[in-house]
């Protein structure tokens, strides 16, 4: 049976299906997993071991043999902890085939093969009995089935099944319970990720969002982020931190939908918009061993907050913002199904705990077209002012404009700043409907013509006989993953060459790729070898990851929102490639080689990469660094686009004297639309 997978194709501006060999799942899942991050999470590991040891002691104190069921064993680490703590036998369940194979190897290498049985199944398929996977029901349940939202990986159905079919009555569980916390806040920054705001153009003109978008309850999914990187100065707490609900994992668990409420007095007047949420897990019944997901700014010393990427914090957007006054009684309600949570706010004290509230769903389609970073980008005032300023520079009263970007407001802004005629290519039918709503709301439906076709299909007839004098793009394409994928604009410009006037303006006129050697505060952990973890040899996991990286990820960059992952620039930003949109796409590859000196002391973990677009001779927009790197290397990154990160095979300790450097070798292949790359540290 043939297997296909989706891969970004920058030359086509979409997702291409490619045939993959039978090992695809193995390579894709392992290379991009968070196993390394989890194994490096010492706080998590220590507290799991403390909780497991305490549970084993409680069972032994009752005079029982200890049988452990470990669901989602991964590397087998928690099972090995259980046996080390005195468990008589452990059943380690892992559904992912390559991971189960790794667990078997790791368990054997550490000398536990006679006490740990790895079961390569989903826990709901495990059977108990003389001919079953387990000889007897277990009396300790150990799991790590949680995600940022706690229940998003199907924890509730798995616990429900385990208690009914696999566990003894009155069993112990590690973790013992989980608690969900939430805080109601007002935040212009966070709210801009879910609602399109008016844009001031000029001469009193404003681009208004359509009523359907304003009244829409938004996307139903959680926004999971490193909330520690959202400054408390960027939001106002309107209420206390509320305990919303708890789940006791040692008792039968239900996956049925339920609602819980917390009533409190508003602490500050404002607009209730956003709910910040996280959870903690008690590893023991007494709650003396706690693993918390609270952001670092909740700690007296923020440096004490453990860093994790496999578990973060959650941002939920209320279906609509609500004005609240200090001292007013309100009720915050959370509802969950078997996989997700959502929140609502009411000023009615009669709302009772247990009544189910409908899951918010997008009705305006904008939340299906634009993701959260895209909403933030469209609402960015500085960015919008830059585009409007650039349009004023290039537009004339007889300008004929053609826009190329996905779900873009740039063609509308061009019409509002004086272009004679504006066309915009919008291939997606859903995206076209959203833009049409905006045009109708602003009485511009006759001013901007939307073309539902590919750039190479556009003819003079589609342009009503006009030749394009201004070809524009942000550029933004929803299928782009890495910074240079936006070069699809160049492919479109080339395909449209025959529709352009001889001296047509191209906006942006060019793009430049920048690189910078960086030291990450924490992100390096996701690619760092584990070696020995809490005294157990887990090198087979490192071997699997490296094999996967060699297979697909080697010599490739990863997309990351670097505003969430603090780093220091150890080199200065270096422009390494410029792409001239004034000319058509070249047929031959573009190559660039050189080195960037390491000017600051620190450990160089990798290279950050981003694009800067030259809108006009005077106006440049960066999709990476927003400010010059400070003297000590501090960086401020654009929150709207992902930057590229290339992790070095081995990190490098820099003394910062400029003698050592990051060497680069880059080749842009116009046939593929991608960049082949290699980085290394060169020393004298």
Residues marked active site are found at 144, 153
**Positive/negative CA dihedral, 143, 149, 153, 155:** positive
Point out which residues pair with 528 in neighbouring strands. none
Q: Rounded to 5 degrees, what are φ and ψ at 553?
A: -90, -15
Q: In angstroms, rounded to a whole number, what is the distance separating the alpha carbons of residues 590 and 2?
A: 35
The tokens of 470 are what? 């201004």
Residue 158 DSSP class: H
* Cα–Cα distances in angstroms (integers) from residue 217 to residues 159, 212, 321, 354, 466, in the given order: 32, 10, 10, 22, 41
CB atoms within 10 A of CB 554: 12
Q: Are 180 and 276 in contact (CB under 8 A)?
A: no
Q: In angstroms, rounded to a whole number, what is the distance separating the alpha carbons of residues 516 and 363?
A: 42
CB atoms within 10 A of CB 165: 14
CB atoms within 10 A of CB 395: 22
Provide the residue count of the chain.
684
* Cα–Cα distances in angstroms (integers) from residue 133 to residues 89, 128, 287, 460, 638, in the given order: 13, 6, 33, 69, 51
Q: In angstroms, rounded to a whole number, what is the distance separating the alpha carbons of residues 238 and 274?
A: 10
Residue 209 DSSP class: P
Cβ neighbourhood burial of 80 (10 Å; 0-12, 13-18, 19+)? buried
Upper half-sphere CA count for residue 62 (Cβ side, 13 Å): 13
Residue 87 DSSP class: -
545-554: long-range contacts, CB 8 A cutoff, minimum separation 24 = 545/30, 545/31, 545/33, 545/35, 545/36, 547/27, 547/30, 548/26, 548/27, 548/28, 548/30, 548/31, 549/31, 551/23, 551/27, 551/31, 552/27, 552/28, 552/31, 553/31, 553/32
DSSP character string of 481-523 = -SGGGGGHHHHHHHHTGGGEEEEEEEES-EEEEEEEEEEESSG
Beta-sheet strands, E only, within 307-443: 313-324, 329-336, 341-346, 400-404, 421-425
> What is the separation of C-alpha 145 from the centre of its chain, rounded to a whole number of angstroms?
19
């Amino acid at each position: 049976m043939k297997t296909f997978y989706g891969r970004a194709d920058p030359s086509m501006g979409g997702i291409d299906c490619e045939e993959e060999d039978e090992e695809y799942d193995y390579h894709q899942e392992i290379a991009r997993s968070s196993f390394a991050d989890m194994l490096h999470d010492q706080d998590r590991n220590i507290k799991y071991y403390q909780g497991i040891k305490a549970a084993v002691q409680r069972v032994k104190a009752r005079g029982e043999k200890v049988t452990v069921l470990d669901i989602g064993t991964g590397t087998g680490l928690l099972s090995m902890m259980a046996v080390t703590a005195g468990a008589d036998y452990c059943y380690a369940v892992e559904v992912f085939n390559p991971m189960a194979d790794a667990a078997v190897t790791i368990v054997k290498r550490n000398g536990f093969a006679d006490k740990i049985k790895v079961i390569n199944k989903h826990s709901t398929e495990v059977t108990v009995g003389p001919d079953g996977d387990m000889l007897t029901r277990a009396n300790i349940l150990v799991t790590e089935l949680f995600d940022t939202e706690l229940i998003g990986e199907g924890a509730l159905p798995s616990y429900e099944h385990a208690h009914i079919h696999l566990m003894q009555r009155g069993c112990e569980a590690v973790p013992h319970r989980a608690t969900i916390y939430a805080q109601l806040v007002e935040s212009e920054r966070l709210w801009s990720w879910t609602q399109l705001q008016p844009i001031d153009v000029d001469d009193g003109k404003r681009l208004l969002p359509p009523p359907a978008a304003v009244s829409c309850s938004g996307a139903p999914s959680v926004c999971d982020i490193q909330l520690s990187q959202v400054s408390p100065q960027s939001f106002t707490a309107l209420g206390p931190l509320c305990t919303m609900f708890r789940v006791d994992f040692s008792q039968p668990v239900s996956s049925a939908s339920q609602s819980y409420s917390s009533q409190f007095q508003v602490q500050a007047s404002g607009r209730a918009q956003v709910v910040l949420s996280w959870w903690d897990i008690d590893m023991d019944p007494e709650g003396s061993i706690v693993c918390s997901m609270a952001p670092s700014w909740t700690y007296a010393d923020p440096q004490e907050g453990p860093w994790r990427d496999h578990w973060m914090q959650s941002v939920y957007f209320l279906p609509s913002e609500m004005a609240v006054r200090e001292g007013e009684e309100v009720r915050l309600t959370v509802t969950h199904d078997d996989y997700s949570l959502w929140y609502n706010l009411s000023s009615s004290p009669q709302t009772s705990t247990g009544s189910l509230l409908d899951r918010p769903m997008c009705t305006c389609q904008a939340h299906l077209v634009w993701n959260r970073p895209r909403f933030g980008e469209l609402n960015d005032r500085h960015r919008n002012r830059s585009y409007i300023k650039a349009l004023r520079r290039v537009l004339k009263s007889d300008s004929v404009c053609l826009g190329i970007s996905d779900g873009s407001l740039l063609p509308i802004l061009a019409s509002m700043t004086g272009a004679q005629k504006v066309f915009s290519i919008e291939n997606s039918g859903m995206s076209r409907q959203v833009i049409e709503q905006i045009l109708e709301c602003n009485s511009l439906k006759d001013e901007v013509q939307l073309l539902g076709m590919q750039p190479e299909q556009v003819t003079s007839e589609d342009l009503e006989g006009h030749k394009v004098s201004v070809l524009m793009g942000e550029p933004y394409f929803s299928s782009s993953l890495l910074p240079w994928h936006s070069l699809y604009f160049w492919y479109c410009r080339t395909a449209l060459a025959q529709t352009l006037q001889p001296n047509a303006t191209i906006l942006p006129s060019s793009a430049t790729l920048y690189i910078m050697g960086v030291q990450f505060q924490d992100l390096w952990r996701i690619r760092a070898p584990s070696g020995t973890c809490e005294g157990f040899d887990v090198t087979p996991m490192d071997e699997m990851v490296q094999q996967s990286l060699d297979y697909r990820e080697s010599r490739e960059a990863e997309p990351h929102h670097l505003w969430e992952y603090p780093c220091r620039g150890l080199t200065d930003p270096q422009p390494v490639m410029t792409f001239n949109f004034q000319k058509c796409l070249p047929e031959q590859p573009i190559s660039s080689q050189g080195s960037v000196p390491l000017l600051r002391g620190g450990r160089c973990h990798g290279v950050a990469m981003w694009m800067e677009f030259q809108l006009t001779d005077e106006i440049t927009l960066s999709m990476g660094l927003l400010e010059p790197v400070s003297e000590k290397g501090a960086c401020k990154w654009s929150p709207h686009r992902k930057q590229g990160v290339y992790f070095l095979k081995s990190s490098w300790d820099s003394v910062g004297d400029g003698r050592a450097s990051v060497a680069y070798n880059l080749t842009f292949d116009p046939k593929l639309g991608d960049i082949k790359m290699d980085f290394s540290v060169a020393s004298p």
